Amino acid sequence: MASLSLEHVGKKYPNGYEGVKDFNLEIADKEFIIFVGPSGCGKSTTLRMIAGLEDITSGTLKIDGRVVNDVEPKDRDIAMVFQTYALYPHMTVYENMAFPLKLRKVDADTIDKAVREAARILDLEKLLDRKPSALSGGQRQRVAMGRAIVRAPKVYLMDEPLSNLDAKLRVQMRAEISKLHDRLGATIIYVTHDQTEAMTLGTRIVVMKDGVMQQVDTPTKLYNEPCNLFVAGFIGSPQMNFIDVQVSEKGAGVALTFGANTITLTGPKADALKQGGYVGKVVVMGIRPEDVVEEHEYAEGRTLSETFPASVTVYELLGSEAMIYADVDGGQISAHLSAASAVRTGSQIKCAVDVDKIHLFDKQSELAIAH
C-alpha cells in the first residue's frame, strides 16, 4: 500500500477551461479518501489525473515519494473501478479478473489462485464462467472490484462505483466496500456526488467546487465545522437552513435579528462576531434541520433560543420521523419532528433553535465565522 502526494496539481484544457485548480493533498497509507462535490466540480478529473488517464497540466503527483506525472497508467501500480464498470464484454468473469495479471506475465497457477481468492471474497465463485452481459448490475460491480483486487495494487481508485445501482444494492455494496477497506488495508480514493456515501465511507473527505478544493476533513468535523457556506450546504441532507441575520450588541452577548424575530447569543460565538467587527452588519446564520426544535418537542440537553413563529408549508412523514418546511418572518426553515407530532401543513407553530449548533458565516466571503 502507499501514500500519495498532490502538490499544486492543476488541469487546464486546450480551450482554456480550468477543470482543477491548485489542488494540494497528502494522502497517508491506508486512508479512505473521498472526493465529493456537485457535477463538474473536478473530482473525477482529479481521480483520472491520479490514474494517468488525464495529463496533469501543472503541479506534481507523487506515489510513495516517486513523481509519476509522466508515468504510464499501467506503471503506476493503481487499479480503478469505473462508474460504468468497464468490464471487457468479450471475456468471462474469470478472464476479466485474470486479464491484468496475464498481461503482467504472471504464471497461470498464481493467476488462478488470485482470481479464486478474489472471487471468494466477493462471492463471485459461481459466476466465473459467465460473460458480463449475463450479470446483474451488482454482480458486474463486484467483478469490477475483483479485477482491481487481484492485482493487489498500491492504490485503489473508485469513480462513483455505486451510482448505477438501485438504492438497496447501493447500501449493501457500500457496506461491502467498507469491509473490503478494512480487510485489504488499502489506500482508497473514492469519488462520489452522494454525500451519504462520503460520510459513511471516508476517513477524510475532500469537498470540491468549480475545480477548487473547499475543505478536507474527517466526516464529523466536516459536518460540525464546515469552513464555508458551500460545504455547510452540501454536506447534510436535507441541507442546512441559512437565514440572513442582523447582528447587534445585547448586553454581554449579541442579538441576531431576522424579520421580527431575535435570537440571543452569548459565549464564544458572540465574542467571535464582536471581535470580527460584525456588529451592525448582516451575517448568515446556518442551522441544521435537526437543531430546529418545535415547542412541543422533547429538548433535553439542548440550549434553546427564544421561540419564533413559523407557518408550516410542507409536511413530509418519513416513517420514523417527519420533516417540515415552514415560512418564518425573514426567511424559510426546515426542521425534523418526531413522527408522533400533531403538526401538519398549514399549522402555525413556534420554533426555537439550539444555539450551541448555530453556524455563522460572513455574507460576502461566505467563510465561517464561528460554529
Partner 1 sequence: MASIAASKAGSDRNRTFLAILIPVLVLFIAFNTIPLLTGFFYSFTDSKGYGAFEIVGLQNYIDLFQDARVGNSYLFTFKISVVSTILVNVISLTLAIGLSSKIKFKSALRGIYFVPRILGGLVVGYVFSYFFTYIVPALTGTTSMLASKEWAWVAIVVVLVWQACAQTTIIYITGLSSVPEDVYEAGALDGATGWDKFRYLTFPLIMPSITTNMVLVMKDMLMTFDQIVAMTSGGPAQSTESISYLIYQNGLNNSQFGFQCANAVIFFIVIAVISIAQTKFLNSKEEQL
Residues near partner 1, by CB under 8 A:
51-53, 72-74, 78-80, 82, 84, 86-90, 99-100, 103-104, 131, 133, 147, 151
Q: 32-36 and 204-209: which strand pairing?
A: parallel
Q: 368-370 and 359-362: which strand pairing?
A: antiparallel
Give dist(CA 147, CA 145) in Å, integer: 5
| Least spacing, CB of residue 279 vs partner 1, in Å | 55
Give dist(CA 179, CA 165) in Å, integer: 18
C-alpha cell at 106: 504472471
Nearer to partner 1, 72 or 300 (CB): 72
Nearer to partner 1, 53 or 304 (CB): 53
Q: At what angle do helices 137-149 and 167-184 cross, to 10 degrees?
A: 10
Nearer to partner 1, 76 or 269 (CB): 76
Nearer to partner 1, 42 or 100 (CB): 100
Nearer to partner 1, 147 or 209 (CB): 147
Rounded alpha-carbon distances, angstroms, from residue 321 to 71, 82, 236, 357: 52, 36, 16, 20
| Least spacing, CB of residue 274 vs partner 1, in Å | 55
| Least spacing, CB of residue 92 vs partner 1, in Å | 11
- Residue 75, classified by CB atoms within 10 Å of its CB into exposed (0-12), middle (13-18) or buried (19+), is exposed
Rounded alpha-carbon distances, angstroms, from residue 296 to 23, 92, 192, 338: 48, 61, 38, 10
C-alpha cell at 180: 473490503
Nearer to partner 1, 51 or 119 (CB): 51
| Least spacing, CB of residue 106 vs partner 1, in Å | 11
Rounded alpha-carbon distances, angstroms, from residue 176 to 145, 169, 182, 200, 291: 11, 10, 10, 12, 32
What does the buried/exposed string (b/e) look like for 92-102 if buried means 16 or more CB atoms within 10 Å of the residue's CB? bbbebbbbbbe
| Least spacing, CB of residue 148 vs partner 1, in Å | 9
Nearer to partner 1, 151 or 359 (CB): 151
| Least spacing, CB of residue 73 vs partner 1, in Å | 5
| Least spacing, CB of residue 91 vs partner 1, in Å | 8
Residues 6 or more apart whose Cβ sits within 8 Å of residue 176 = 122, 142
